[in-house]
Structure 1
Amino acid sequence: MTRPRILVVGAGFAGVECVRRLERKLSPDEADVTLVTPFAYQLYLPLLPQVASGVLTPQSIAVSLRRSKKYRTRIIPGGAIGVDLKSKVCVIRTITDQIVNEPYDYIVLAPGSITRTFDIPGLTDHAFGMKTLAEAAYIRDHVISQLDLADASQDPDERASRLQFVVVGGGYAGTETAACLQRLTHAAVKRYPRLDPGLIKWHLIDIAPKLMPELGEKLGSSAQEILRRRGIDISLGVSIAKAGPEEVTFTDGRVIPTRTLIWTAGVVASPLIATLGAETVKGRLAVAPEMNLPGNDGVFALGDSAAVPDLAKGDGAMCPPTAQHALRQGRHVADNVIASLRGGPLRPYVHKDLGLVVDLGGTDAVSKPLGIELRGLPAQAVARGYHWSALRTNVAKTRVMTNWLLNAVAGDDFVRTGFQARKPARLKDFEYTDAYLTPEQVRAHVEGTARQE
């Protein structure tokens, strides 16, 4: 008899936690485990703004999946672009653009999310995202190059537009991105004696009435006060009406001359979920509290792409797309896959939120661990302590701690790597959202391949 095949899609927090637990709890002859991911590393997303600002190096938060010799999971370098639930086949586009079928007995869907965009003229052509390692590295180069180009320009209008920066999204990603990059430009401009520091302006806008409402009234106000004290212009109840190469128009009519628009206005489930033809909740796959897909044997989903009922909150609430939930769901779903494999009962997922941390750079932070509101250095210690402890390997922890200490002692550096120099790359170029198949295309491809065999 062949061993059962367990296929895990996605190497984010949820997927990697699931794989590692499966490896620990299953004997080698009990099942074959395969992981599908375009990159053979786990990205620690919450620290991306610190990569963009140069506090951390990119490899610090990209934890290699091939580093340890003891792991036995087979890694397929590619992206899942469709799933045929009836045939139990996942369609994969490899990194060489080959389309292959991977059969499974159990599948764990943890493909994560993509940046949520709207039908705003010029948005995908002119905005940057903050969802991938490449985007963070690219944005750092771009922001520093704006200072270089402004310094070299003789045109006061061009200089002014290059020194204005717009970040859309008042959640954690947008707020931390604006905060970290503002600190970078504030420190860097001192090395440009020809530039007037007063020309550097950062705008943080969000359609919501409050910044990071999950923090509560007091901490949210504290975060706003910190950012405003630094000179960041915060506009709430405002979004983008249209975006161009040299200016952005706000919905309140203001036109901001800028060459930098960073879009962090939320996420949506991976387009892979739409290929299943199954029920969804706001684009996320509707699953049971045990994280299995009702009516489909051996199919589990978790993380940003699954609408997992939040039993701790009740009232029909769904677990938010946070790293905290993804980590715990990964371990829990692995236990349920093993239970299913061995004929045992599945357990529902229940987890109480441990709190929130927001690192605003330097000694500025706001945190709410276990409901306790903290500001300043105590909040910063909690925020960085949480992130540091959540890193999966000792190598990653050492790199991150070394980077933090070096930055604290030696300050920022302002080196451009030349990443994609002279090749403009925007939001649409990083997330490959046009790679997925429709449910009909998935079925046609699987049936066509089966006939050829």
Structure 2
Amino acid sequence: MARTAQGTPGAPHILIVGGGYVGMYTALRLQKKLKRELKRGEVKVTVVDPNAYMTYQPFLPEAAAGNISPRHVVVPLRQVLPKCDVRNARVIEINHEDRWAIVQPLAGPPERIAYDYVVMAVGAVPRILPIPGLADQGISLKTVGEAIHLRNHVLGQLEIAESTDDEEIRRKALTFVFVGGGFAGVEAVAEIEDMTRDATKHMRRVTPRDLRFYLVEAADRILPEVGPDMGKWTAEQLRGRGIDVKMKTFLESAVNGDIVLSDGSRFPAGTLVWNAGVKPAPVVKHTDLPLDERGRIKATEYLTIEGVVGAWTAGDNAAVPDLTQDGMFCPPNAQHALRQSKLLGDNIVRSLRGKSLKPYVHGNLGAVAGLGLHKGVANPLGFKLKGLPAWWFHRTYHGMMVPTVNRKMRVLADWTLAVFFKREIISLASVEAPRADFELAASDEKPLEAPKAPAQAKEPVI
């Protein structure tokens, strides 16, 4: 049975659902703008997220490739939001008409939380299509856990190929398929290819010529965010590295790792990475908030929820009008999420103080993408950068944008050490099953049966 979480009597309660870009930055803004009110208990801010940290997703490909420690791409929420109530839980239902949310903690019964204002910042999840075998074989790259798993898995596939003479097993293990030609897909395939090429330098039986990489994209170009010319250049660069870039091609099946593509290609692959789009997190369907035809929460240019009082939204789960382009919506990227969240926090403060709200207007500043060590592509403010200059700009931009000075310094330290030392090529796949050896040892230690008493000798017959 749900129980109600009580707050300070009479104090407005702001509930932020999600601790990602929008959730964390909105809370940071409120923490700054409402510093006195929070200290005096005149307002309360609660952030609810299943994780105790915010993930800086642009660094996930580098984390998967071993250029950055996975711990350095996450920001602990309680550490940066000391004046907010951070709860590790999952919101499973919202009734905004009556101003309550049902929250499922990590352990224990669900709770009903009353609120006055709600911020929907749950973000997005991978858009999984009903392709046979995809759910069983695929992995995405949206969380730090997935980045760690992908790294361990790929290096594990190299170890499999290094340890066997079976050509079928080797061929499957050394074939890597990445579906999706946007930022996530292109950066992932480029970084992982770069890492595996380095890894083969330490192997005797696996060479770069043995590696087979495929990038599969349904559209007629990749990286549309950087423009057609730069996208074409990127495709040429990837092909020059031995990556087979297949455009206007669909994944049709992946049952048991047997990849079938719409162009007739069919081959076994030990790795399938799916980055073909996202959709709003499922919880938005369990609310009474208005959604558009794509399942996104309808937002206004003020980042309020359309037709609803006391509700706000931004980021990947929201359809935010792009006032710089008629009839268009802001794309789901970090650039917009960061700027929207700051305005969202400011507009909530304006609402609390009875002031007029400001609209969200932000022109595209360009895009940057890393393509492996010392390789990249970028078009900041219309300038086209390729290769080393683009890679430098990519690292400079994201190095400045990653939250908190603590994380900036740790990421910078990782990059600096990489200048003097070679990349760590170690698979720690055992961390994903840490009790395996313990369970094996326990199964081997069977309780000994008590020894039977020796049979009593019969007395001799005289």
TM-score by length of 2: 0.89
Q: Could you tell me whether the CA contact under 8 Å between 2:94 and 2:287 is conserved in 1?
A: yes
In structure 2, the residue matched to 1:175 is 186
Which piece of structure 1 moves more, 173-182 or 274-283? 274-283
In structure 2, the residue matched to 1:444 is none
1:127 aligned residue (96, 117, 138): 138
Opposite residue 266 of structure 1, the aligned amino acid is G
Q: Could you tell me whether the CA contact under 8 Å between 1:7 and 1:33 is conserved in 2?
A: yes
1:156 aligned residue (157, 162, 167): 167
In structure 1, the residue matched to 2:79 is 67
CA distance in 1, matches of 2:273, 2:109: 33
Pairing 1:420–2:428 present = no
- Specify whether residues 422 and 113 from structure 1 end up closer, same or farther in structure 2 by C-alpha distance, changes over 3 A only: same
In structure 1, the residue matched to 2:13 is 5
CA distance in 2, matches of 1:189, 1:388: 29
Shift of residue 277, structure 1, vs aligned partner: 3.7
CA distance in 2, matches of 1:156, 1:408: 37
- How many residues of Structure 1 are paired with residues of Structure 2 in the alignment? 421
CA displacement, residues 209-254 of structure 1 (integer Å, 9 cap, x when unaligned): 0011221122112211221111111000111101122321111221
Report the RMSD for the aligned CA atoms in angstroms.
Answer: 1.5
Opposite residue 399 of structure 2, the aligned amino acid is W
1:238 aligned residue (249, 256, 271): 249
CA distance in 2, matches of 1:225, 1:203: 13
CA distance in 2, matches of 1:196, 1:287: 52
Shift of residue 97, structure 1, vs aligned partner: 5.6
Pairing 1:189–2:200 present = yes
In structure 2, the residue matched to 1:352 is 363
In structure 1, the residue matched to 2:308 is 296
Q: Which consecutive residues of structure 1, in runs of 5 or more, have no partner in the other structure? A: 424-453
In structure 1, the residue matched to 2:68 is 56
2:209 aligned residue (188, 192, 198): 198
Opposite residue 93 of structure 2, the aligned amino acid is G
- Structure number with bigger Rg: 2
What's the % identity of the aligned pairs? 36
Shift of residue 195, structure 1, vs aligned partner: 2.1
The 5 A counterparts of 1:241-390 are: 241-281=252-292, 282-313=294-325, 315-390=326-401
Opposite residue 18 of structure 1, the aligned amino acid is T
Q: Secondary structure at the match of 1:256?
A: strand
Pairing 1:137–2:148 present = yes
In structure 1, the residue matched to 2:456 is none
In structure 2, the residue matched to 1:16 is 24
Q: Which has the higher contact order (CA 8 A, sep 6+)?
A: 1
Q: Could you tell me whether the CA contact under 8 Å between 2:14 and 2:46 is conserved in 1?
A: yes
Opposite residue 393 of structure 1, the aligned amino acid is T
CA distance in 2, matches of 1:265, 1:89: 34
Shift of residue 422, structure 1, vs aligned partner: 9.5
Q: Could you tell me whether the CA contact under 8 Å between 1:129 and 1:264 is conserved in 2?
A: yes
CA distance in 2, matches of 1:37, 1:297: 23
CA distance in 2, matches of 1:17, 1:178: 30
The 5 A counterparts of 1:206-221 are: 206-221=217-232
Q: Secondary structure at the match of 1:355?
A: coil
Opposite residue 21 of structure 1, the aligned amino acid is R
Q: Secondary structure at the match of 1:67?
A: helix
Q: Secondary structure at the match of 1:191?
A: coil
Opposite residue 118 of structure 2, the aligned amino acid is I
Which piece of structure 1 moves more, 291-300 or 131-140? 291-300
Opposite residue 51 of structure 2, the aligned amino acid is F
Q: Could you tell me whether the CA contact under 8 Å between 1:247 and 1:255 is conserved in 2?
A: yes
Which piece of structure 1 moves more, 190-199 or 285-294? 190-199
Q: Could you tell me whether the CA contact under 8 Å between 1:163 and 1:258 is conserved in 2?
A: yes
CA distance in 2, matches of 1:63, 1:356: 23
Q: Secondary structure at the match of 2:350?
A: helix
Q: Secondary structure at the match of 2:417?
A: helix
CA distance in 2, matches of 1:375, 1:97: 53
Q: Could you tell me whether the CA contact under 8 Å between 1:114 and 1:268 is conserved in 2?
A: yes
Q: Could you tell me whether the CA contact under 8 Å between 1:141 and 1:419 is conserved in 2?
A: no
Shift of residue 46, structure 1, vs aligned partner: 0.7
In structure 1, the residue matched to 2:442 is none
Q: Could you tell me whether the CA contact under 8 Å between 2:96 and 2:289 is conserved in 1?
A: no
Q: Could you tell me whether the CA contact under 8 Å between 1:115 and 1:264 is conserved in 2?
A: yes
In structure 1, the residue matched to 2:99 is 88
Opposite residue 379 of structure 2, the aligned amino acid is K
Q: Secondary structure at the match of 2:91?
A: strand
Q: Secondary structure at the match of 1:280?
A: coil
The 5 A counterparts of 1:381-400 are: 381-400=392-411
1:105 aligned residue (110, 113, 116): 116
Shift of residue 343, structure 1, vs aligned partner: 1.9
Opposite residue 301 of structure 1, the aligned amino acid is T
Which piece of structure 1 moves more, 92-101 or 32-41? 92-101
Q: Could you tell me whether the CA contact under 8 Å between 1:138 and 1:419 is conserved in 2?
A: no
Q: Could you tell me whether the CA contact under 8 Å between 1:92 and 1:101 is conserved in 2?
A: yes
In structure 2, the residue matched to 1:441 is none
In structure 2, the residue matched to 1:114 is 125
